[in-house]
Chain A
Amino acid sequence: MKKLSARRRHPLAALVVLLFALAATGGLYAAFAPADEAKADTSAQSLAIEEGKKLYATGCSSCHGTGGQGTSDGPSLVGVGAAAVDFQVGTGRMPAQSPGAQAPDKPRVYDQKEIDQLAAYIASLGPGPSIPTEEDYNPSGADSAAGGELFRTNCAQCHNFTGKGGALTHGKYAPPLNDVDPKYVYEAMLHGPQNMPAFPDSVMPPEEKREIIAYLQDVNGKETASPGGFGLGGFGPVAEGMFAWTIVLALLICTAVWVAARTAKARKS
C-alpha cells in the first residue's frame, strides 16, 4: 500500500486513472451494448445507403436534386425520413409520372428491397421518421371506438366518415383509404405525405394511430358489413339522391306505364 500511496502523487497518476476510467466505461458499454449487431447493421446500412444512392441518382434526382436538396420540380428530401420514402415509393406515388395537382397512387415501380435501400439513403440525408414495424401498426386489440373519435377529429374532414376520400382545392384530393395497407396508413399519419399534414407521435401517440387503423378496418375493410344493403359508395346524400332520381324513379315510372297502358286488343294480337 506504501507503494501505491507513494505513486498516488505521481504526475502521471491522473492520466492513468483517466485512461483506466475510459477503458472501464468503454468495456462496460461493450459488455452491455449489442456491439456485434450494431457493427453488422452499420455495414449493411452503409451498403444499403450506397445502393440507395445509385437508385436515387437514376430514378429520383432529376426532380429532387442530386443530393436530395430539391428543385423546382420536387421538394427537398432532407429530413423527410425513411417512412416517407417507404410510403411514397411503396404506394407507387413516386416516381411521379406526370405533373399534376398531386401524385396519385399506382402500381409500384421498385420492389421492397429497393425501396428499403432508397429509404436508407434518404434517411442518411437527415433525421426523420423511420419505417414502422409490424407491431406499431398492427390494429388487433386496439379500441376501434376510440379510433373512430380520433378519425372524426383528425381525418374525416378530408377522407370522409369512413375513408372514402374527398376533394381538396384546385384538383387536389384526399385519396380513399379502402384496402390501404395499415403500414402505409401509419406512415402517412407519421410524416404527412404531399399536402397531408403530419400527425407525429408527439401529437398523436402510436397507440392512437393503431386505434385509427382498427377503426378503418371496422368501417372500411374487406370484411366490413353494410347492414342496410349496398352502400352506394358511402358518399352520403348526393349518391342517394342520384339513385332515387335514376333507378327508383325509373322503376316507378315503368310500373306507372304498365298500370296506365291499354291492354292488348284481340284484333292486333
Chain B
Amino acid sequence: MSTTSEAPKRRGKAPAGERVADWADGRLGIYGLAKANMRKIFPDHWSFMLGEVCLYSFIIIILTGVYLTLFFHPSMAEVTYHGAYVPMQGVHMSEAYASTLDISFDVRGGLLMRQIHHWAALVFLVGMFVHMMRVFFTGAFRKPREINWLFGFLLLVLGMFTGFTGYSLPDDLLSGTGIRFMEGAVLSVPVVGTYLAFFIFGGEFPGTEIIPRFFVAHVLLLPGIMLGLVVAHLILVFYHKHTQFAGPGRTEKNVVGMPLLPVYMAKAGGFFFLVFGIIAIISATFTINPVWVLGPYRPDQVSTNAQPDWYMGFSEGLIRAMPGWEIVLPGGYTLALGVFIPLMIFPLILAAIAVYPFIESWVTGDKREHHILDRPRNAPTRTAFGMAWLSLYFVCLIGGGNDLWATHFHLSINAITWFVRIGFFAVPVITFIVTKRICLGLQRRDREKVLHGRESGIIKRLPHGEFVEVHEPLSQEQLHTLTAHEQYKPLEIGPEVDENGVARKVGRVQKLRARLSRGYYGEGNQIPKPTVEEYKELTSGHGH
C-alpha cells in the first residue's frame, strides 16, 4: 500500500518510489489493481463503520493472541503453583492455569495483553452482532450481497466458538464448568453421543487432552478459517461497492462519497488506531476475567454465577429454561431431551436469521440488484421479523443470567425461569406486532410530511379568527429522500379457475408464497407512499 501511495506524490522529484512501484507492477500488476481501487468511493455514514470495528478488533485479537502464545502452556499436566500470586501458592493446578497466572503476575504487560485480548474478543462479537443488525434492518443483504451476508454470518458463528475455546483455555474453575457443560451436551446426542464425548476428550472427562485440542482449534483451525472468510468478505465489499442511503444524487447506479485515497485512508486507518486505543484504555481500567480469583478447575468444585461469555449467553438461557424431559426408550436407551432439544434450537435460532435473505427474495421474486438501502420503517415486515428475533435472543439472554437478575432485582430465580419459558413463545410475537405497528405509524408520518410539509410550530391566526399551524413545505431534496423507496405489490396468484372455466393448478408452495407476499405488501401492511398527483392536488389547494 505504501509503495502505491508514494508513486503519484513524488513524481518528478524523487523517482525512487516510482521505481519500486514499477518493479512491483512488473511482477504483481499493482497498477491495474490500484487503478480500480485507489480512488474507490466510500459513502459516509457512521453505521458503515461498524464492520470496521469488527475487522480492527479481529486484528487486535490476532496481535495480542500471538503475544499470549509465547507464554501460555496448553497443558493439563498437574503442577503446584509457586508464583507471585499469594492466594494460590501451593495449590494443585494444571500447567495451563499456572501459565495464565504467570502471564498475569510475572510477565510485565502480560496482564494488559490478556485483558486487551479478551476485551477485544467481546468487542469483536458485539461489533459483528451490531454490524449484522445494521445490514439486516437496512436490507443490505439483498442481491448481490447474499453470499457476503452468509460469510458474515459464518464469521459470527466461528467467532462464537473461537471465543468459547479461548475462554476455556486457562482451565480455571469457571471455564472448566463450561467444558463440563459441553461434555454433558455432547453426551446427550442420541446414539453416538457417548462415543463422540470419549473421542473429543480422549477418554473420560476431563482427561488431559481437551485443553491442547482446544488450543489448536483456538489459535490455528478456527482463526485460520476466519481469516480466509474475512479476506473473502472484504474482497466482496470492494467488488460490490458499498451500499448507500437514498438521497439527492444517490442512485442504484452510482455510489457517492469520499475516495479511499486520501480521505478513507485517513479515516478508516485512523479508526483502527481509535478502536485499538479505546480497547487499550478499557483494558487499563476495567478488569476482565480475573482468572486468579477463580481457582483451578476441579470437577467437584463450582461457583455460582457460572456463565459463559455474553455471545454464548443465549444458549445458556435455552438450557436453563428447558424442562427436564428425559425418555427411556425400550431396550435401555435414554433420550436426554432436556439437553438435546436446546442443543438443536440453538443452531435453529441462528439459522433463522441466516436464511432470511433467501426467504425474502423468494417472496418478492425480485431479481434486481439493490444498492440503495431501505429505511427500516419502509420494510415493516422485515423490521418486525428482525426485532422479534432480537427479542427472542434477549429473552434467552435474560434466562442465561437468571441468577444475577434474581439477586440484583430481588426476584425469584424460578419466576424468571418461568418468564423465559413463556416469553420464549410470547415475546417475539408481541414484538413482531408492535414493531410492525410502529413502522406503519412512521410511514404515515413520512407521508404526512411529504404531503403537508413539516410542522413548524408557528401558530398563525387567520383573518376570520381560525388558528392554524404553519406547515413548511419540504425541499426537493427532502421530498426525494422520503419518496425514493420502492413499494412492492402483493403477489397475485390469480383465480383458481381461468376464463374458460378450467381449473388451474396452483401449487401449495405458490399459495404460501402469495400469502406471505400479502403479509409483506398487502393492504394494511404498508402505507402507500404519496404520489405526485396527490402532492400536486394538495399543494395547489393550499395556495402555496
A and B, direct touch (CB closer than 8 Å): yes
With contacts A167-B406, A243-B286, A252-B275 taken as known, whether A160 is within 8 angstroms of B303 at the C-beta atoms is: yes
Q: Which residues on the A side are within 8 Å of B305 (C-beta)?
A: 160-161, 164, 166, 235-236, 238
A32, CB-defined interface residue at 8 Å: no
B320 to chain A, nearest CB (A): 12
Interface of B is mostly: helix
A162 to chain B, nearest CB (A): 5
With contacts A174-B304, A218-B86, A228-B111 taken as known, whether A152 is within 8 angstroms of B288 at the C-beta atoms is: no
A253, CB-defined interface residue at 8 Å: yes
Assembly CA distance A1 to B301 (angstroms): 77
A131 to chain B, nearest CB (A): 28
Please tell me which one of the listed residues B53, B91, B283, B307 contacts residue A236 in the complex, with CB atoms under 8 A apart: B307
Q: Are B278 and A260 in contact (CB under 8 A)?
A: no
A107, CB-defined interface residue at 8 Å: no
Q: Which residues on the A side are within 8 Å of B293 (C-beta)?
A: 161-162, 219, 234
Q: Are B304 and A148 in contact (CB under 8 A)?
A: no
Which 7 pairs from chain A and chain B are nearest by CB?
A241-B310, A166-B304, A228-B287, A256-B49, A167-B406, A167-B403, A171-B412
Q: Which residues on the B side are within 8 Å of A238 (C-beta)?
A: 305, 307, 310, 313, 400-401, 404
A203, CB-defined interface residue at 8 Å: no
Please tell me which one of the listed residues B45, B285, B308 contacts residue A260 in the complex, with CB atoms under 8 A apart: B45
B174, CB-defined interface residue at 8 Å: yes
Q: Which residues on the B side are within 8 Å of A219 (C-beta)?
A: 87, 293
- Which of B122, B293, B410 has the most chain A CB atoms closer than 10 A to its own CB? B293
Contact with A along B75-87 (1 / 0, CB 8 A): 0000000000011
B90, CB-defined interface residue at 8 Å: yes
Contact with B along A225-260 (1 / 0, CB 8 A): 011111110111111111111011101110111011
Assembly CA distance A255 to B89 (angstroms): 44
Q: Are A231 and B289 in contact (CB under 8 A)?
A: no
Interface residue tally for chain B (C-beta within 8 Å): 74
B248, CB-defined interface residue at 8 Å: no
Interface residue tally for chain A (C-beta within 8 Å): 62
Q: Are A171 and B406 in contact (CB under 8 A)?
A: yes
B46, CB-defined interface residue at 8 Å: yes
Q: Are A236 and B278 in contact (CB under 8 A)?
A: no
Q: Which residues on the B side are within 8 Å of A259 (C-beta)?
A: 46, 49, 267, 270-271, 274
With contacts A146-B90, A168-B413 taken as known, whether A157 is within 8 angstroms of B122 at the C-beta atoms is: no
Q: Which residues on the B side are within 8 Å of A101 (C-beta)?
A: 412
With contacts A153-B301, A235-B404, A253-B46 taken as known, whether A148 is within 8 angstroms of B295 at the C-beta atoms is: yes
A198, CB-defined interface residue at 8 Å: no
A55, CB-defined interface residue at 8 Å: no
Q: Are B122 and A240 in contact (CB under 8 A)?
A: yes
Q: Are B126 and A248 in contact (CB under 8 A)?
A: yes
A144, CB-defined interface residue at 8 Å: yes
Q: Are B278 and A241 in contact (CB under 8 A)?
A: no
Q: Which residues on the A side are within 8 Å of B412 (C-beta)?
A: 101, 169-171
Q: Are B287 and A161 in contact (CB under 8 A)?
A: no
11 extra interface residue pairs, beta carbon distance < 8 Å, beyond A169-B413, A243-B286, A259-B270: A145-B88, A148-B91, A149-B295, A157-B304, A173-B406, A219-B87, A229-B285, A237-B313, A248-B123, A253-B46, A260-B46
B156 to chain A, nearest CB (A): 15
With contacts A169-B414, A173-B406, A241-B309 taken as known, whether A255 is within 8 angstroms of B271 at the C-beta atoms is: yes
Contact with B along A182-200 (1 / 0, CB 8 A): 0000000000000000000
Please tell me which one of the listed residues B278, B294, B403, B410 contacts residue A252 in the complex, with CB atoms under 8 A apart: B278
Q: Are B401 and A256 in contact (CB under 8 A)?
A: no
Q: Are B413 and A236 in contact (CB under 8 A)?
A: no
B168, CB-defined interface residue at 8 Å: no
Q: Which residues on the B side are within 8 Å of A170 (C-beta)?
A: 412-414
A231 to chain B, nearest CB (A): 5
Q: Which residues on the B side are within 8 Å of A64 (C-beta)?
A: none
Please tell me which one of the listed residues A229, A245, A255 contacts residue B286 in the complex, with CB atoms under 8 A apart: A229
With contacts A227-B111, A244-B126, A248-B119 taken as known, whether A161 is within 8 angstroms of B294 at the C-beta atoms is: yes
B50, CB-defined interface residue at 8 Å: yes
Q: Which residues on the B side are within 8 Å of A158 (C-beta)?
A: 304
Assembly CA distance A112 to B312 (angstroms): 49
Q: Which residues on the B side are within 8 Å of A253 (C-beta)?
A: 46, 50
Q: Are A161 and B91 in contact (CB under 8 A)?
A: no
Q: Are B407 and A165 in contact (CB under 8 A)?
A: yes
16 intermolecular pairs with C-beta atoms under 8 Å apart: A145-B91, A148-B295, A157-B304, A161-B295, A164-B305, A166-B304, A166-B305, A228-B104, A237-B313, A238-B305, A238-B307, A238-B404, A240-B122, A241-B122, A248-B282, A262-B44
Please tell me which one of the listed residues B274, B301, B404 contacts residue A152 in the complex, with CB atoms under 8 A apart: B301
Q: Which residues on the B side are within 8 Å of A173 (C-beta)?
A: 406-407
B228 to chain A, nearest CB (A): 26
- Which of A159, A167, A229, A232 has the most chain B CB atoms closer than 10 A to its own CB? A167
Contact with A along B263-299 (1 / 0, CB 8 A): 0000100110011001100111111111001110010
B81 to chain A, nearest CB (A): 8
Please tell me which one of the listed residues B105, B126, B271, B282 contacts residue A256 in the complex, with CB atoms under 8 A apart: B271
Contact with A along B357-385 (1 / 0, CB 8 A): 00000000000000000000000000000
Q: Are B308 and A237 in contact (CB under 8 A)?
A: yes
Contact with B along A34-57 (1 / 0, CB 8 A): 000000000000000000000000
Contact with A along B142-183 (1 / 0, CB 8 A): 000000000000000000000000010000011000000000
A87, CB-defined interface residue at 8 Å: no
Find the A residue at minimum CB distance from B114. A228
A176 to chain B, nearest CB (A): 9
Find the B residue at minimum CB distance from A224. B293
A193 to chain B, nearest CB (A): 18
Find the B residue at minimum CB distance from A254. B46
Contact with A along B172-196 (1 / 0, CB 8 A): 0110000000000000000000000
Q: Which residues on the B side are within 8 Å of A17 (C-beta)?
A: none
* B residues 61-108 in Cβ contact with A at 8 Å: 86-91, 104-105
Please tell me which one of the listed residues A152, A161, A257 contacts residue B46 in the complex, with CB atoms under 8 A apart: A257
